[in-house]
Amino acid sequence: PERVLKKLGILKKSQVIPTGIDPAPYGANRAAPSPKITVSYVGRLESVKGVDDFLAAVDPLLDEFPLLTVQVVGWYKQGHSLVEQYRRVVFTGLRDDIPAILEQTEIFVLPSYSEGLSNALMEAMASGCACIASDVGGNAFLIQNGVSGFLFPPGDREALRAHLKRLLADPPKMRAMGKAARERIEQQFSWEHISKLYAKLFDESRIMNHESRKDAGHDS
């Protein structure tokens, strides 16, 4: 954030190069469009992740959209209160086949209250999922709101439900947003692109160092 860079005194002296992802393992075997839609959350069942907000927002939609499946993918303690409360939701437990799960997911939700640059979100975008994420941390850096995904204020269950309902009611929009998400990763967050940013940075640094040496009378 600019305020942090200003506080450190490096606002005009720094640049951000994000982490990247190899999109190749994701979305290659995406299922053909179907009336059935799966909405997934991938992560821990912790309060900071906002899983309770996600479940409270999506559960009523199971009545309105009978072909909807909701799943929570990730480890949870036996007897977890959310598992007991939301009986219509599939809790898969810990899984090691996330690319395959995302290929069967049409809508991915990341409702966290705090995030860096989420690997889970990048993987979902690379898989061609239509993504809905809380407007925190790096989520807004990844998602172009309304184009490659939707953002909502953290904890705002009504806004989250409205985004879910919009996509569920408009499958072409859902698929278009998933396609835009995949393109966003390929163009801006693939390792191929990130490596070019590093190469550019190193080239600029070499030029600056060379000019500095010349100004100091140490031409080489």
Mean pLDDT of the chain: 92
Residue ranges of the alpha helices (H) in the chain?
Answer: 2-8, 51-58, 61-64, 81-85, 98-103, 119-126, 139-142, 157-169, 171-184, 191-215
Confidence at residue 143, expressed as pLDDT on a 0 to 100 scale: 97
Please tell me whether residue 90 adopts helix, strand or coil conformation.
strand
3-state secondary structure (DSSP) of residue 8: helix
Q: What is the pLDDT of residues 93-125, one digit of tens each?
A: 999 999 999 999 999 999 999 999 999 999 999
Give the confidence band of 175 by pLDDT, cuts at 50, 70, 90.
very high
The pLDDT tens digits of the residues spanning 25-55 come to 998 888 788 899 999 999 989 889 999 999 9
Model confidence pLDDT, tens digit, residues 51-77: 999 999 999 999 999 999 999 999 998
**pTM score:** 0.88
pLDDT given for residue 105 in this prediction: 97
Q: Note the pLDDT tens digit of each residue in 151-166.
A: 999 999 999 999 999 9
**Angle at which helices 171-184 and 157-169 pack, to 10 degrees?**
110
According to the model, what pLDDT value does residue 209 have?
76
* Angle, CA 120 vertex, CA 116 and CA 122 arms, to 5°: 85
Kindly report the backbone phi and psi dihedral angles of residue 129, in degrees, each rounded to the nearest multiple of 5, phi listed first.
Answer: -80, 145
CA dist list (Å): 67 to 70, 117, 153, 169: 10, 32, 28, 12
Which tens digits make up the pLDDT trace of 178-212? Answer: 999 999 999 999 999 999 999 998 988 888 776 77
Please give the structure tokens belonging to residue 139: 């989520």
How far is residue 161 from each of residues 57, 58, 153, 156, 157, measured CA to CA in Å?
5, 6, 12, 9, 6
Cα angle, residue 218 at apex, residues 212 and 220 outer, rounded to 5°: 95
pLDDT at 206: 84
Cα dihedral across residues 41, 42, 46, 47: positive or negative: negative
pLDDT for residue 216 is more than 70: no
Residue 215 has pLDDT above 90, yes or no: no
